[in-house]
Every structure is written in structure tokens, then in C-alpha cells.
Amino acid sequence: MARILIVDDALFMRQVLTTIFIAEGHEVCGEASNAKDGVEKYKTLKPDLVTMDIVMPMMEELDGIGAVKEIIRLDPKAKILVISAMSQQALVVEAIRLGAKDFLNKPVNPDRLKDTVRKILANP
């Protein structure tokens, strides 16, 4: 199955996502708690898919949107799934504009997450 990198500043969310992914048979190849680390891990791990929390604290000039931009710059084919709260429409739109493949709202519904990931991975 797919190798997934989780970028989220809340340990709690990372745990929830990891559990869902592992149950689905995916491999969580890395976790990052900030945007900077997320980009670094993307470079070294080259995951099939990244889940990106869009609201994250600024880390060395990089936040969630910055990380999306940077990852797409490094790898135009990167598959980024944005995880966001309902109120972050503008950020999500920005992320899509930058090349994010899809987005999901918190609270994350496990079935919807599985479905979305499946769809993203199915598309070349």
C-alpha cells in the first residue's frame, strides 16, 4: 500500500491519522510536527502521500501553506491532502491553488479519509 507522511502540529491528530492509515494497510513512513520538518521529511522519505495540517505555527518562515508550496516546488507530482478545520476555507483554496490534491475537514471522518486517500492514490 502507500507510504504516507503526516504533518500536523497536534500529536493527537497524528495519532488519530496514524491509527486510521495503519488499519487501512498503509505505512506511515514519517510524522512531522511543523511545516519545516514536514518539508525536510518529504525530501528524505519521498512518501506517496502527505497529509498536511493547514493551520500550523510558523517555523523558520514556513507554515502549512508554505510547506505545500515548497513540496510542490520540489516535486510537482506530490500528492498533498490538506487537513483543515471548517473555517479555513481561504487557506484551503490557497493550498489547492498551489497544487494540493484534495482536502478534508476536521473532525476527520475515518471513512471519508480512507475514501479520499484511495481516490488520490488512484489518480496518476
Partner 1 sequence: MQDSYREIFLSESQEYLDNMNGCLVKLEENPRDLNSLNEIFRCTHTMKGMSATMGYDKIAQISHQMEDLLDELRGQKKAVTSNIIDTLFAGVDLLEQLLQEVRLNQESKTDISACMEALKNLLLEEPPPGPSEEAGPLTRKTPFITLDEVEWTEVELIKFKEAKENGFNVFKIQITLSENCPMKEARAFLVITNLKRRGEILAAAPSLEALKEGRFDRSFLIVLAVKEKSEILQQELAGISEVDDVKVSSAEIKPRASSLSEPAHPQETASEPSAAATPSGGTGSAGAQTEQPSSYLKKIQSIRIPVQRLDKIMNLMGELAISKIRLVQVVQSLKIQELEEISFTLDHLTSALQNEIMQTRLLPVAYILDNFTRVVRDLARRKNKEIDLEITGSEIELDRVVLDGIGDPLIHLLRNAIDHGLETPEERKAKGKNPKGKISIQVTRQKGHISIEVADDGRGVDFAAVGKKAVEKGLIPEQEVSHLDEKRVLEILTMPGFSTAKEITDTSGRGVGLDVVKVKIESLGGRVDFETKIGLGTKFLLTLPLTLAIIKAMLVKVRQEILAVPLMNIRETIKVRPEEIKMVQHFEVINVRDEVIPVIRLEKELGISLNRTQETTGINEAIPLVIIEYEKKALALLVNQIIGEQDIVVKPLPSFVKKTKGIAGATILGDGRVALILDIMSLKN
Residues that bind partner 1 in the complex, under the rule CB under 8 A? 9-13, 15-16, 19, 33-34, 55-59, 63, 65-66, 69, 72-73, 76, 84-94, 96-99, 102-108, 112, 115-116, 119, 122-123
Return the SS3 of 117: helix
Cβ–Cβ < 8 Å for 101, 8: no
DSSP annotation string for 67-112 = HHHHHHHH-TT--EEEEE-TT-HHHHHHHHHHT--EEEESSPPHHH
Cβ–Cβ < 8 Å for 29, 45: yes
- The nearer residue to partner 1, 49 or 91, going by C-beta atoms, is 91
- The nearer residue to partner 1, 25 or 76, going by C-beta atoms, is 76
* Closest CB 13 distance from partner 1, rounded Å: 7
* Closest CB 3 distance from partner 1, rounded Å: 20
- The nearer residue to partner 1, 3 or 18, going by C-beta atoms, is 18
